[in-house]
Structure 1
Amino acid sequence: MIGLPAFRPDLTDYHDCINTIEGAVQRFSALELEKLNQDYGQAGASVLTNEKYQKTAHGQAMASLPLFTVRPLEMDTPPAPFAKSVDEPSQCLQGLRVIELCRVIAGPTIGKCLAAHGASVLKITSSQVPDVPFFQLDVNTGKHTTSLHLKNADDVNTFESLLKTADVIIDGYRPGVIANLGYRPEDLVSKATQRGKGLVYVIEDCFGGTEMGAEWASRPGWQQIADCITGVAWEQGRFMGLNEPVVPPFPMSDYGTGCVGTIAALSGIYRRATQGGSWICRTSLSQYNLFLLSLGTYPTEVQDQLRREHDRHFFALRHNDSVDEVSQRALCSIKYLYPKLFAKHSMQSMYSEAFSGVVTWPKEPLKVDGIKIGHVRPTRPNGYDKPTWEDWEGDETLLDI
């Protein structure tokens, strides 16, 4: 799109890579890049301050949205109470079936959190759609994963059979992608009404504002793009003493949006259980970022203290440094200052047959009297399991560790 070859095996130096890409980008104006993004379907965006974002048509539309929304799609189906067991139930979402149609982090985090409350979460991806294997180590914890391509007739039939008993759908794709495959929320709710049991449809995307027809709602994107358009990247740069944006370290908006999406999903599940009906729940990376910005920045003295304590190497970062480089430097500093965050008693380990090794992840921080919260199966890569709700393995002794 910007005139570079797809592969440059001769480029092995980090700064040479940056200079090559940045030099190519600088040949275009911001407007020209926006036009190229649109023509090529690329997920790029200009970096805005929050003040400039608020003046855009999209920013003005988003200003009226709360952090998440939950509304009914139909109220004809009866309440679907939580499952009751002869024995004392150990997890509150036991018996609920969740289909996760998501990639990378934010949407899969919703599924991971619901699995920690006992839901059977089946992550469905296509082998023809790329994903990031590194993140699957974390976000696939507690789930089963399978591969279906919804443009293949046999896979569509399998998917339809799974839908018949699903309670929750998580949609983390760009707005319209799942709908264009024939699965609009309204279509799925119609099926749910015919079976006499409502459905909870949870949507997470980058820009937000789909239900309002906001200007950028249908654009593709991920965390760093949301951080850049809403002003979060500029706040990070200012904190570092720069008059330029820097993408924040770690996928914080991704995981934050995943937590918000979980709250929205639980709200929809609770309302289905107590009021009946089918519910649609929405949030976005941009909504999370706007909420974050609304909280304000730390007082000057706190910011000064953080700048003194953290590794000076971190503050040498610039706008053109990669996400990996930003996160790597931040992680080194955090490990040095806060070793307790990485202590063994805060972690849980289990052998993953799928990854042929022991995987360690943080224990769930939430505690609720009378129920257990945690995962009963180890992580696995995408597409590992058969597309079925039957014969799932699980180790409930993990809940007592």
Structure 2
Amino acid sequence: MSYSTIATTKQLLTSTFGNGLPVPPEVRAQGIHWVEFVSDSTQPLIPIILKAHESFAALKGLEGILAVAVSKERFGHAKDIKATVNCTHAALFPAMNYLSTVDGIPKWDPEMTKKIKIEDSDLNHVYNNVYRRMLTSYYRTKDGRFYHLHASLNATPTFDALGLPPYDEEKNERRAAQEVIERRTLTLTSDELEDMIKKIKQPGSLCQTREEFLASSYGKHVSSRPLFELQQLESTSPPLKLSSQGPNILSGVKILDLTRVIAGPVISRTLAEYGAQVIRVTSHNLPDQAYYAVDFNFGKRTVDLDLKSPEGRQVFENLLEEVDVIVDGYRGGAIARLGYGPHDLLKRFAGKRGFVYVKETCYGEGGEYSDRPGWQQIADSVSGVSWANGKAKGLEEPIAPPFPLADFGAGELGCIATLNALHHRMTKGGSFFTSVSLVKYNDWLFSCGTYPEQLWKSMVDAHGQESRELRRHSGPDDVGLVAINSIQRLNPNLREEPDFMFESGNTPFGVVRTQSPVVRVEPYKTAVQSWLNPPRPAGYDSGAEWVTI
């Protein structure tokens, strides 16, 4: 009997409802009937032994279910509204960066630097300096383990702690730079590296197996939690009222995007697909990754505000007066220290209005690691994904997974959690705090199981020699490019599939082609109807105010 990605997707979706998911009873009871899956296949697209293909299709199904729940509350319960999810398109949601083009140029092409000014936001020279960028990798330790260091948005603190120069212009070749760093990590045990990283409050993690993760107190905490957290902050503010005229599911909803890099911006980009008005707030004083603006600033306006200046705070507080959702992707407590955390907003809005506060982190709320910074690669290392990927290829070393699965997984969960919290606001009133994490997505991905041995063998064979040659020193982009190239070789007509790619011609970058919204809820959500703005760089818009639409 041939394998069915749709059948597996439905099984995963059904199982999520039995795992303490904090959704309304009617969604739990009826939701599975509100979504239809199309585009079955006998071989999953993403070359990893974990069921990433089906996990994203299932999450997109869950997104569709919550979107239908909000639609019914807004437009009338009698309406026969259903979501449709193309499983192939959903599986490539985390590959979005490898599919996007500007004026026909792929994002990894060197010519792209003429269109995206990466250096403008790379304030600490992490991405345009080979030596500093190579800090992000798996390194051997004195006790025979592997430890994942990360350059983060500033590599200097970790280089200083390692006793290495923060800059070495002679090491402008990748392997030479990695060898210098590994000579140093080989003089330290994994415990010594871990203590060092914790002391300087930089991202890093021991590469654990799945068994080691589950045996740890932190792993036990994460595995006991639902896919996303929901906490009611207050119950006195009135229900959220949205016009039954729409035209889209989230028309009229105002979202402040306080995020950087991947997972956080994915949350607000996906909510923007539903017609929400999103303003992304960044500061030229803080490092960022301009590379991702092409994909993740779809539907948004972007403003530059210094929240440490009186002028910037005043503008931001004016925006807060009408906000419905705040998406926070900064280090734990960073926004609260500025006076804009969820409990600060409770005091500010007391007796006036409710709100939803969405928190995205690497490690999640609670647990011993909750105050540590982290990235995609760190989540993969601590949860066991990196080891599982290496072992499945017959190696005794960790390897980065194809595509930033945990980043996009957490971003997708953040969209789902927001739709769920907005539904609670519409039906019950009040204010809600909801949170998602990269590690929790990875934990759930593991719980989805692995592919049958024969299916996995056929996937390895199909993706070819270049995929088999990947090793621990292969960077995430190397692994991603190998994966997308083999996926496109195996599916040559993929980009031409109806509704898969979306083109925006009127952008500051040029003609942008990127992945279209995966979930379709007709007639309330399509790419053309729902994205209010073409993508633009950070800080592009001069007016920092909500627009009457």
Deviation at 1:344, TM superposition (A): 6.4
**Residue range with higher mean Cα deviation, 267-276 or 34-43:** 34-43
Correspondence for 1:67: 227
Correspondence for 1:192: 349
Deviations 1:216-253 (A, max 9, x none): 11100011100110011111111211122111121111
Matches within 5 A, 1:203-282: 203-208=359-364, 210=365, 212=366, 214-282=367-435
Alignment pair present for 1:128 and 2:285: yes
> Which of residues 481, 490, 499 in structure 2 aligns to 1:328?
481
**Native 8 Å contact 1:352 1:380 kept in 2:** no
> How far apart are the structure 2 equivalents of 1:246 and 1:217?
25
TM-score of the aligned structures, taking structure 1 as reference length: 0.92
User: Where does structure 1 lack aligned partners over 5 or more consecutive residues?
Assistant: 394-401
Provide the alpha-carbon RMSD of the alignment. Answer: 1.6
Correspondence for 2:174: 14
**Native 8 Å contact 1:172 1:204 kept in 2:** yes
> Which of residues 293, 305, 326 in structure 2 aligns to 1:169?
326
> Aligned AA for 2:188?
F
SS in structure 2 of the partner of residue 194 of structure 1: coil
**Native 8 Å contact 1:141 1:379 kept in 2:** yes
**Residue range with higher mean Cα deviation, 315-324 or 7-16:** 7-16
Alignment pair present for 1:3 and 2:163: yes
Deviation at 1:15, TM superposition (A): 2.1
Alignment pair present for 1:54 and 2:214: yes
SS in structure 1 of the partner of residue 280 of structure 2: strand
> Aligned AA for 1:135?
Y
> How far apart are the structure 1 equivalents of 2:486 and 2:177?
25
Deviation at 1:19, TM superposition (A): 1.8
> How far apart are the structure 2 equivalents of 1:278 and 1:302?
46
User: Where does structure 2 lack aligned partners over 5 or more consecutive residues?
Assistant: 1-160
**Native 8 Å contact 1:47 1:245 kept in 2:** yes
> Aligned AA for 1:122?
I
Deviations 1:343-394 (A, max 9, x none): 2642111124422x1111111121113312322321111111135234589x
> How far apart are the structure 2 equivalents of 1:314 and 1:242?
13
Correspondence for 1:385: 541
> How far apart are the structure 2 equivalents of 1:206 and 1:257?
9
Deviation at 1:190, TM superposition (A): 2.4
> Which of residues 372, 376, 387 in structure 1 aligns to 2:532?
376
> Which of residues 483, 488, 494 in structure 2 aligns to 1:341?
494
Correspondence for 2:201: 41
Alignment pair present for 1:110 and 2:267: yes
**Native 8 Å contact 2:223 2:440 kept in 1:** no
Alignment pair present for 1:24 and 2:184: yes
> How far apart are the structure 2 equivalents of 1:43 and 1:83?
44
> How far apart are the structure 2 equivalents of 1:223 and 1:240?
21
Aligned residue pairs, count: 385
C-alpha spacing 1:42/1:369, structure 2 compared with 1 (3 Å) = same
> How far apart are the structure 2 equivalents of 1:261 and 1:390?
23
> How far apart are the structure 1 equivalents of 2:265 and 2:465?
34
Correspondence for 1:153: 310
SS in structure 1 of the partner of residue 474 of structure 2: coil
**Residue range with higher mean Cα deviation, 9-18 or 184-193:** 9-18
**Native 8 Å contact 2:319 2:546 kept in 1:** no
Deviations 1:310-345 (A, max 9, x none): 121121111222222222222221221123332264
> Which of residues 351, 372, 389 in structure 1 aligns to 2:505?
351
> Aligned AA for 1:273?
M
SS in structure 1 of the partner of residue 464 of structure 2: coil
> Aligned AA for 1:230?
S
> How far apart are the structure 2 equivalents of 1:185 and 1:391?
24
> How far apart are the structure 1 equivalents of 2:233 and 2:543?
28
Correspondence for 1:398: none
Correspondence for 1:396: none
> How far apart are the structure 1 equivalents of 2:180 and 2:496?
41
